[in-house]
Structure 1
Amino acid sequence: MCWLWYFVFLILFVKIEGQSGDDVKNLIKQLFTTNDYKKQVRPNQDQRHPMNLDLDFYLVGINELDELKQRLITTGYLNIGWIDEYLNWTSADFGGIDYFYVPQANIWIPDITLQNGFTKLQELGSSFIKAKVESNGQVAWMPFEVFESKCTIDITYFPYDRQSCDIIFVVWSSSVTDVIVTLWNNGIILDSLENNAEWSVVSTATREDVMSSESRVIFTLNLKRNSTYYLMNIIIPIILLSILNVFTFALPADSGEKMGYCITVFLSFAVFLTIVSSELPKTSGSILGYYLMFQLGMGTFVVCCTTIELRLHHRKDDVPKNIIKLMKFRNVKKITSKEHQNETESEQEITWGDVISSFDFVLFWITSVLVVIATITVLGLLCTN
């Protein structure tokens, strides 16, 4: 029974204070009706002093980085704070209420917007987003948006490229004498960031930029492309195809498969480029794009050389003396430099098959050296970016 008497004692002699719905109604009536709150008026008692806006940016995700349209699409929300001198009260007069939430359309909010947006200017937030108002007049407003901003993209070192994109927020209509935007606590917060399959955030930067007529905050995202996918599915297959292309000159012309082999490799190049074209940037200027064109050009060169070689291989007439003289530098077996050998008889032993075999040897090493130098140069430039 002791607990029952203790409960009766609390009811009769102890005054328990609580926040009721009536307290909230009275507070809202006091602020918005009795005090005649006007959201069109900048909430400064002294209008000669500018309103200070504190701003943080919470990045939630990187949706897309479009190289062709030069557009960055991100998801995130701003944490904007300011002091509304017309929305303050004494907590004890309203049941100890320290804060309440109000729709953003019912109070003064700054006309802050994305300055380098890709679409038309529009108000941040929406009708169901509410702002938190504290008893000291501190207002916290967190509009959630999908931001489409312009970004200058350089794809020279694709797929090992790094991009730096700015997201600029500015007070559009008000001048610096009315509203000043400043950084709040941490600038860009990545605690809620979800991983992107293609891009990783390497670092971030923030800065305030107060110009003669406007105040703005610039958030910079430094992004790095994840290159593993492109390395495994584009670069390595191209290198392997280039090796097969060079070995066309290792096949003897008498085998009967030389032309079919080089055409098959060339068509493999063409089909492969058609398949991966959707994965390549639609803009020009990448080192990898020039490398692909070089490899395609090498394939064309090999096909043309093979065609000419096969035509010469089946000729029955004598080999011109000028070509025989060139072959002496290659030390063809049937040509000897011994002084006692008759030069005329030696020249008559040279056939077009010997000439083509000699050309294959030279072209094999020339194309091999060119492919190796081009590949090492391109990979070196890409990886050292």
Structure 2
Amino acid sequence: MSLFMPVILILGSTMYSESSFPPAKSISNRLVEKLLLSYNPVLRPVLNETHVTKLEMLILISQILDMNERMQKLITNAWVTLVWKDELLTWEPHKFGGLEYIKIPSELIWLPEVILYNNADDLYRTFLDNRIVKVDYNGSVLWASPVIFHSTCHVHVKYFPFDHQLCELKFGPWQYNGNELIIHGLGDSSIFTSDGEWDMISLSSTNNVMVYPDEPGVPYTDVTYGILLSRRAVFHVINLLLPCGLLTASTALVFFLPVESGEKISFGITILLSLTVFLLLLAELMPPSSVIPIVGQFYAVSMVLVSLSVGVSAAVVNIHHCGQQRSRVPCWVKKWIIHKLGRLIGIRIKRKCKRDYTVYARNKNIKRSPNAKTNDSSQSPLLPRDRDDKENGAILNEIESCGRVLHRDVLKIRQYFDHLKHEEDVRKEWRLVAMVVDRLCMIGYVVCIVGCTVTIIIHIQYDT
């Protein structure tokens, strides 16, 4: 027992010493304790209050998440990097094992109050939340994090969907003026990924010094990033412009439909209703503004022309059925519309400007001459020669009476068919007038549509 006593005493003393004294602290822990021993994260970290803190801001635009034209709101995914000098977080690396930087939670130190001025979120708050910051031995602090910004963007819809939009992100301190904090910014678009609708043409940054009415004479600094976006118009061309173009082109078929089909006016009204539906879809995308996009103007012009085509179709139907009133086409109408204008559009008609209805008038006004009656029985081979003149005269009178009745019935039949032919000729003439008017209106419609389309294209190209 006495032989094991020294060993037991040595082991017991060793266990007592290990449990009584804490382990040695790491270099990082000792450094953090030293730096934050008397550090106040509420106050601006300067050794002299006259010193100005310079804040460098770098934004890398990663993606456009959403562009709400109606609400005029832009949602952007960005990588934000902030660098500033903290004069209270400095040390000599050789005194801490050559340690040149440490990473600590951001809530332990002072953070610059930087907010998005044109914020479109529910709350105005700084986007700097709890993150790990990197602190260098010379006091340089780096804060970096991905941030989603909700900002306002004044959308110019005049050239939708072939438009470019310039949206701004304005950052700056709210409480620190230019004598306390100066912010400078840079932008980078090298990591941008298109969402399929928007391409970023450029990203610019502008450093500003502003004086606001609430504090006259006190400068405030800010940095404004300009994001120039170009819309990919393929989606809207296929879903908005192409249907409108097809419906507008289909309206020309209204002038080719025959009146007898009974679908001339209903077809035009159907196209008008279809254009109205697409115009409502366009109105849901655009903000309520006094500026009407060119696409909306094209829709409006198309609806006006389609409405006029429906009115013209009603007039053509009316002209087509004018022949039922049995009134002839005026001579000047036949001269200028049928012969001259019809010749211009390729309709060849034999010219009949005079009202030459000789056969119809002759058959209508024929009267038997009174000299046709004769009692010369000797000239009629049908009379028997063995009878006296009195008997032959009676027979001749009877034959003559039957002939007059037969001739009168034949004339009535002929006049009836001539009258039918006359009415059919009148109807054909009015139908011909209606056809010429229909073709002329179709040509005018096509010219108007082509002219409006070319004007819009030239206007877009000129402004671009």
User: What residue number does 1:10 align with?
Assistant: none
User: What residue number does 2:223 align with?
Assistant: 217
Give CA-to-partner distance per residue, 1:243-290, whole Å, 9 cap, x none. 21012212332455534543444444345556x447742445100001
Where do residues 348-359 of structure 1 align in structure 2 (5 Å cutoff)?
351-359=429-437
Structure 2 letter corresponding to 1:223 = L
User: What residue number does 2:459 align with?
Assistant: 381
Structure 1 letter corresponding to 2:307 = T
Question: How far does residue 242 in structure 1 lie from its aligned partner after superposition?
Answer: 1.4
Structure 1 letter corresponding to 2:59 = F
Where do residues 50-129 of structure 1 align in structure 2 (5 Å cutoff)?
50-119=52-121, 120-127=123-130, 129=131
CA distance 1:342–1:267, shift in 2 (3 Å): closer
Q: Does 1:32 align with 2:36?
A: yes
**Percent of aligned positions with the same letter in both sequences?**
25
- Structure 1 distance, partners of 2:269, 2:204, is 52
User: What residue number does 1:145 align with?
Assistant: 147
Unmatched tracts of structure 1, length 5 or more: 1-19
Contact 1:124 1:143 in 2 (8 A): no
Q: Whose radius of gyration is greater, 1 or 2?
A: 2
Structure number with higher relative contact order (C-alpha < 8 Å, ≥ 6 residues apart)? 1
CA distance 1:379–1:319, shift in 2 (3 Å): farther
- Structure 1 distance, partners of 2:129, 2:73, is 23
CA distance 1:331–1:297, shift in 2 (3 Å): closer
CA distance 1:235–1:163, shift in 2 (3 Å): same
Which stretch of structure 1 is more off in the superposition, 370-379 or 232-241? Answer: 232-241
Question: TM-score, length-normalised on structure 2?
Answer: 0.71
Structure 2 letter corresponding to 1:203 = S
CA distance 1:283–1:319, shift in 2 (3 Å): farther
Any runs of at least 4 consecutive aligned residues in structure 1 with deviations exceeding 6 A, and if so which?
A: none
Contact 2:164 2:231 in 1 (8 A): yes
Aligned residues: 355
- Structure 2 distance, partners of 1:192, 1:334, is 72
- Structure 1 distance, partners of 2:86, 2:277, is 65
- Structure 2 distance, partners of 1:280, 1:326, is 49
CA distance 1:54–1:272, shift in 2 (3 Å): closer
- Structure 2 distance, partners of 1:64, 1:307, is 48
Name the SS for the 1:233 alignment partner.
helix
- Structure 2 distance, partners of 1:66, 1:139, is 36
Name the SS for the 1:194 alignment partner.
coil
Give CA-to-partner distance per residue, 1:113-159, whole Å, 9 cap, x none. 111112332022222x1111011111001243211112111100000
Contact 1:158 1:382 in 2 (8 A): no
- Structure 2 distance, partners of 1:131, 1:169, is 20
Name the SS for the 1:237 alignment partner.
helix
What is the RMSD of the two structures over their aligned residues, measured on CA atoms? 2.5
- Structure 1 distance, partners of 2:440, 2:349, is 18
Where do residues 221-370 of structure 1 align in structure 2 (5 Å cutoff)?
221-273=227-279, 276-277=281-282, 280-284=285-289, 285-315=292-322, 316-317=324-325, 318-319=327-328, 321=330, 323-324=333-334, 326-327=336-337, 328-331=339-342, 333-334=348-349, 336=351, 343-345=354-356, 351-370=429-448
Name the SS for the 1:144 alignment partner.
strand
Name the SS for the 2:44 alignment partner.
coil
Contact 2:282 2:296 in 1 (8 A): no
Question: TM-score, length-normalised on structure 1?
Answer: 0.84
Question: How far does residue 233 in structure 1 lie from its aligned partner after superposition?
Answer: 2.5
Structure 1 letter corresponding to 2:437 = F
Question: How far does residue 329 in structure 1 lie from its aligned partner after superposition?
Answer: 3.7
Give CA-to-partner distance per residue, 1:191-245, whole Å, 9 cap, x none. 3322211111011111111234200111110000001112223222322221210
Question: How far does residue 40 in structure 1 lie from its aligned partner after superposition?
Answer: 2.0
Unmatched tracts of structure 2, length 5 or more: 1-23, 212-218, 358-421
User: What residue number does 2:203 align with?
Assistant: 204
More helix by share: 2
CA distance 1:59–1:373, shift in 2 (3 Å): same
- Structure 2 distance, partners of 1:374, 1:72, is 33
Which stretch of structure 1 is more off in the superposition, 249-258 or 38-47? Answer: 249-258
- Structure 1 distance, partners of 2:311, 2:28, is 87
- Structure 1 distance, partners of 2:298, 2:39, is 66
CA distance 1:331–1:324, shift in 2 (3 Å): same
User: What residue number does 1:12 align with?
Assistant: none
- Structure 2 distance, partners of 1:331, 1:188, is 67
